[in-house]
Amino acid sequence: MSEKPAKGLGMGLQALLGEAKPAEAQPRSGVRELEIARIRPNPDQPRTHFDEDSLKELAESIAERGVLQPILVRPDGPEHFMIIAGERRWRAAQRAQLHAIPAVIRDQTDEGLAAELALIENIQREDLNAIEEAEGYRQLINRYGHGQDEVGKLVNKSRSHVANLLRLLDLPQSVKQSLLQGDISMGHARAVLTAPDPAALAQEVVAKGLSVRQTEARAKAVRKGTGELVLTEGRKVDADIAALERQLGDMIGLKVQVANKGQGGTVSLYYSSLDQLDMICQRLSGEPI
The residue ranges of DSSP E strands in 17-161, in sequence order, are 31-35, 39-40, 71-75, 81-85, 100-105
> What average pLDDT does range 23-35 have in this prediction?
58
CA pair distance 230, 238, nearest whole angstrom: 7
Please name the amino acid found at residue 224. Answer: K
pLDDT at 234: 45
Which residues neighbour 8 within 8 Å (Cβ) at sequence distance 6 or greater? 274
19 is catalytic: no
Range(s) within the chain of domains with CATH label 1.10.10: 159-285
| Domain boundaries 30-110, corresponding CATH code | 3.90.1530.30
pLDDT for the residue 261: 75
User: With bands split at pLDDT 50, 70 and 90, how would you rate the model's confidence at 110?
Assistant: low
Active-site option among 33, 57, 60, 87: 87
What distance in Å separates the CA atoms of residue 140 and residue 147, rounded to the nearest whole number? 8
Is the pLDDT reported for residue 61 higher than 70? yes
Q: Between these two residues, 56 and 7, which has the higher pLDDT value?
A: 56
- 8 Å CB contact between 39 and 74: no
End-to-end CA distance of the chain: 28
**pLDDT value, residue 237:** 57
Mean pLDDT, the chain, rounded, equals 76
Closest to 144 (Cα-Cα) out of 44, 75, 289: 44
pLDDT average, residue stretch 77-94: 86
Q: What residues does 85 pair with on adjacent strands?
A: 72
Tell me what pLDDT residue 147 has.
86
CA 39 to chain centre: 25
Parts of the chain belonging to CATH 3.90.1530.30: 30-110
The pLDDT of 35-64, averaged and rounded, is 82
Mean pLDDT of 116-131: 72
Query: What residues have CB less than 8 Å from 281, skipping those under 6 apart?
Result: 9, 12, 13, 15, 16, 287
Split at pLDDT 50, 70, 90, the class of 5 is very low
Average pLDDT, integer, range 55-80:
85
Helix 148-155 vs helix 159-168: angle between axes, to the nearest 10 degrees? 110
* Per-residue pLDDT band at 14 (split at 50, 70, 90): very low
Position 176 pLDDT exceeds 80: yes
- At the topology level, CATH places domain 159-285 in Arc Repressor Mutant, subunit A (1.10.10)
